[in-house]
Chains A and B, each alone.
Chain A
Amino acid sequence: MSAVSTQSVPQGKSLGASLGASLGASQGISLGSCATGPKIVQERGQREVFCGLTGIVWLHRKIQDAFFLVVGSRTCAHLIQSAAGVMIFAEPRFATAIIDERDLAGLADIDDELDRVVTRLIERRPDIKLLFLVGSCPSEVIKLDLSRAAQRLSQQMTPNVRVLAYSGSGIETTFTQGEDACLSALVAQAQRADAAQKPSLLVVGALADAVEDQFRRLFAQMGIERVDFLPARRAADMPMIGPGTKFLLAQPFLTDTARALEALGAQHLPALYPLGAEGVAEWLRAAARAFGVSRETFEAVIAAPRARAEKSLERWRPHLAGKRVFFVPDSQLEPPMARFLARELGMEIVEIGAPYVDRRRLAEELALLPPDTPIVEGQDVERQLDRLRAARPDLAVCGLGLANPLEAEGFATKWSIELVFTPVQGFEQAGDLAELFARPLMRRELLEI
């Protein structure tokens, strides 16, 4: 936030319904680091974004012996259940310890209650090696100290189960920031590698296993020997971190995790995010440079998959080129997605809404966006929809709560949650990513009713 005026736009007044007026120069806050780059304005009002608890839906799939116990309310339990595809099968590796009246009235000792719940849980699931206590708005407001509870429980259950805590509360985190908080907690507890250790590459951010394997192969072909992923698939395999660690961010929303890694001496390799042929190539290039991979080797390794990625985009470009897209804030993936759509598929960006824009970790992305692309950080959903209706984009990228109402108004929409749940990073997925945006448009052409 340092380069940016933190003065927020007074609520309700300055952002008019007209896109031009609201995003004019007087409101725009220019980036210190890139004076000709896009303007970022801030907006305050009703947000229409999930809270960080949502991350549990993909994180519990990724870390296969972890359990996520939300300490919260019935609302929190209902949110995860609804976000997880309304109803899913079997017994998942997440649950909610629902705080009730007795806990609030002080009739029950919260520590005892937590112990009881955790004991029951671990008895049922002896396969669990890592337990996250996940804070929520209610637990934050009543100032439950879950970190302390985690320490205590960890001591009790060592060595079988490690217990960590983080907050996914909606008063502190939006949607994907829950993953940031979870990974930060892992970094805080990570084993420290000493300075003498050989340099290693760390890829930070949950990726689908298949995508991870693809990247592993590419790095191996480049000759980068030590490659770790955070989070690892199993609790016991979480990487060591130290001054020899050089890390790539696989996701743009990992602000706190990156800071925590840097505090341990690890070095961030700034790059585009691995979305689209260009994004993946530049992301890999940052690692290749840092590990002294020769230009020839690097180009040779990526030539074939990059060509495949570019070819796969050709199929979708006719459906997307020249079409206008509007991003309603959701996952913080909006700036790199917009860069991909604009540069590789020829789309026109009407507005990029994002819950939060980390100017430092997005510097490379912001520099490549078409000049004057309007970026709105934060949200006032009513005014944003006014602007959207006025701008009449060909495609609106938005959350599940807004998609059908916008469709009913005649807009084609893409549910942004799918961009988070679907494997979209990497060369081999570039075409799939383009297809996600093309499908709603193609579908409209198919339907004759």
Chain B
Amino acid sequence: MQLTVWTYEGPPHVGAMRVCAAMEGVHYVLHAPQGDTYADLLFTMIERRGTRPPVTYTTFQARDLGGDTAELFKNAAREAYERYKPQVLVVGSSCTAELIQDDPGGLAMALGLDAPVVPLELPAYQRKENWGAAETFYRIARAMAGPHAPAPGSSSARAREAGQRARCNVLGPCSLGFRHRDDLVEVLKIIESLGVDVNVVAPLGATPADLARLGEADFNVVLYPEIAGQTASWLQRTFGQKATRTIPIGVGATRAFIREVAELADVDPSALLRPDLSRLPWYSRSVDSTYLTGKRVFVFGDASHAIAVADVAAKELGLKVVGLGSYSREFAREIREAAARHGVEPLVCDDYLEVEAAITAAAPELVLGTQMERHVAKRLRVPCAVISAPVHVQDFPARYSPQMGFEGANVLFDSLVHPLMMGLEEHLLGMFRGDFEFRDGVAPSHLGHGEAPAETASENDLEEDGEVKTRGASVAWTLDAEKELRKIPFFVRGKARRNTESYALERGVGRIDVETLYDAKAHFGR
């Protein structure tokens, strides 16, 4: 049993829903109790989807358990098929149905429907959402493309004639993905500029018939390994298609990605390697960015985004990565390698409380994380930008806002630097706090920034900021020292307070006065 306050990922069947909802012509029949229908709102409210996700739930009840839940499943599957006439019927169990062991796959096959049935086995007590998405994508892809696999022993790679343009699949973009919609546009621009044709984009917008053609590409572009990694390695084994490994987030990674695609496609990338394609490099060199130098940043998210963004933070913005972690346990190795590059301890963890503790201990000046780290940062009064799923309604902005490609790098510059600039404003606010225009208790402007109006009311209702007490040792502060501390910009104030207190504790200083404060400052010397 794991005590869980917030979860980074839903159950695996939610991952399956994300893939089915991203595709066209797929319907998912989920053996599940009524409460599990909550998952619909993820799509209709967070993503603002204008149609119900293509999912039928059997919504069995306790009184059905003694009777025939299998019959209930068969009726639901038959009716869903007749109503929606999908090209493929995906079937499976939620956590509860897994326990009653009705075998949705076998039951659905026995119905003799005109469409292929793809049964999913998603162990709900072991696995999570992204794994479920990856597995579902793989199962559907394999069911559709598998029959077109070259015979064993024959050469599997597609033979391309001289002068023929290379062709790739773009794999990974999905429903409820963090900026997938816009990333895809940006990446397609790159692929097109390189003179490479796109065979299939999947799962987003693909039909099962499209997946049947996956083998007709020369190679695969994998944007989100969390979702498409498993499918890409099956395609490599089956059709000999190589796959890209670089996630094009940041200028450096985008250039590496362009070189990688160009090499796979055997084309010349030089036109896309011009230095002026993103504003990030110049903005970052511009003198107003000097204050970013060495700012301490804590990065947490899914593996792909966390690793890529940590590199951007260090190499393209000149920040100092003081923490790097991910809830994607499947990518623990990659996280450890990246953490080693930045010289920090890797944090592979899906326990929100542990992540919170790690952030607090690292005393960052900027947090780049998920919506949950945003709340941690808010409590610690540290600026924060969101860089990864789990998604929130705010992560579906109306404007074009990719993370990938050169435009994505521009967006990243703005979204990573913006909270820090707002922090500077707060600094000024602090300097003028005595002035009458600045009422005491004026909220730092960045903290209220970006709240979705639709949710403010309920968030406010539910806010419990008061409930988390600063834990840790209490050492008395003299009034003067408190006053002096307040002159320190708020975003480093917490760290200064903690450092001073631990300094005082170590030395057995019972009361912190202004002297202690500056002694501690000299001791920790930034």
Residues in chain A within 8 A of chain B (CB atoms): 11-12, 46-54, 57, 61, 71, 73-79, 81-93, 95-101, 103-104, 108, 110, 113-114, 116-117, 120-121, 137-138, 140-142, 169-172, 174, 382, 399-405, 407-408, 421
Contact = CB atoms under 8 A, between A and B. Distances in A.
27 contacts: A46-B37, A48-B40, A49-B34, A50-B37, A75-B95, A77-B4, A78-B11, A81-B7, A85-B455, A89-B459, A90-B379, A90-B467, A90-B468, A92-B464, A93-B464, A98-B2, A100-B1, A104-B125, A138-B95, A142-B99, A171-B96, A382-B83, A399-B41, A400-B41, A401-B37, A403-B45, A408-B51
Contact of A78 (B7, B79, B372, B375): B7
A103 B3 CA distance: 13
Contact of B3 (A85, A110, A121): A121
Contacts of A97: 1-4
A89 B462 contact: yes
Contacts of A93: 464, 467
A87 B150 CA distance: 47
A101 B3 contact: no
Given A46-B56, A61-B461, A170-B36, A117 B1 contact: yes
B220 interface: no
Given A90-B464, A141-B99, A402-B44, A170 B79 contact: no
B463 A90 contact: yes
A137 B31 CA distance: 13
Residue among A88, A93, A172 with the most chain B CB within 10 A? A88
A439 B476 CA distance: 53
Interface in B48-107: 48-52, 56-62, 64-65, 75-76, 79, 83, 94-96, 99-100
Contact of A92 (B5, B36, B125): B5
A104 to B, nearest CB: 6
B375 A85 contact: no
Contacts, number: 225
Nearest to A113: B1
B436 interface: no
Nearest to B63: A171
Given A50-B35, A97-B2, A421-B458, 9 more contacts: A53-B35, A84-B462, A86-B46, A90-B465, A98-B3, A137-B35, A137-B96, A403-B45, A404-B48
A169 B459 CA distance: 26
Which DSSP category, helix, strand, loop or mixed, fits chain B's interface? helix
A54 B13 CA distance: 20
B471 to A, nearest CB: 9
Contacts of A408: 50-51
A266 B96 CA distance: 38
Given A49-B34, A101-B125, A113-B1, A401 B99 contact: no
Interface of B: 1-7, 9-11, 13-14, 33-42, 44-46, 48-52, 56-62, 64-65, 75-76, 79, 83, 94-96, 99-100, 123-126, 128, 353, 371-372, 375, 378-379, 390, 392-393, 455, 458-459, 461-465, 467-468
Given A78-B7, A401-B38, A405-B50, A171 B62 contact: yes
B334 to A, nearest CB: 23
Nearest to B64: A171
A405 B79 CA distance: 21
B59 A98 contact: no
